[in-house]
């Protein structure tokens, strides 16, 4: 049996559109800021952020990073290649299993990430009332 499709009212569409609009405004800010100030793509920033956010003391594999970024393994490898070439990330092979490769921020990557993350946090704090308001509209429907 096919699941019954929900009927959406105009207000539902408006709420969904408003939420996505608020997200797009933030993402546009992020893309422009990263390109201008850090010379990073949003994907590179997200990768660096995921590496930094990983549990302290635990190493992050490329496979785990792929999951965090929700992209294919080969896409993550390509992303890492670019960050390694710029000196922002480093690869380390596991000593016990040479097939396992871990990634970590370099000092230069850490400095760039700290700057970008601080600006992003401030931007999110400023935009959060509008984003939360839009999300509440979706929740009420």
The predicted pLDDT at position 91 comes to 92
Residue whose C-alpha is closest to residue 90's, from 69, 60, 70: 60
Does residue 65 contact residue 103 with C-beta atoms inside 8 Å?
A: yes
Distance set, CA 136 to CA 24, 70, 109, 119 (Å): 17, 26, 36, 25
Q: How many residues does the chain have?
A: 141
Q: What is the pTM of this model?
A: 0.87
What's the average pLDDT block by block, 10 residues per block, for the chain (141 residues)? 80 96 97 96 97 87 94 96 97 80 94 98 97 94 61
* Neighbour order of strands in the sheet with 60-61: 60-61, 101-105, 89-93
Supply the DSSP symbol for 35.
I
| CATH placement of domain 10-140 | 1.10.10.10
Domain assignments of the chain as residue spans, ordered by start: 10-140
* pLDDT at residue 94, as a whole number: 75
């Amino acid at each position: 049996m096919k699941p019954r499709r929900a009927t959406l009212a105009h207000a539902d569409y408006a709420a969904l559109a408003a939420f996505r609009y608020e997200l797009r405004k933030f993402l546009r800010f992020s893309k422009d800021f990263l390109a201008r100030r850090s010379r990073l793509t949003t994907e590179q920033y997200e990768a660096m952020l995921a590496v930094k956010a990983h549990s302290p003391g635990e190493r992050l594999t490329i496979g785990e990073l792929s999951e965090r970024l929700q992209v294919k393994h080969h896409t993550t490898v390509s992303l890492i290649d670019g960050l390694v070439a710029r000196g922002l990330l480093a690869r380390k092979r596991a000593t016990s299993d040479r097939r396992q490769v871990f990634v970590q921020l370099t000092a230069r990557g850490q400095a760039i990430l700290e700057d970008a993350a601080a600006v992003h946090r401030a931007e999110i704090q400023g935009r959060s009332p509008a984003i939360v308001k839009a999300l509440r509209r979706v929740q009420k429907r």
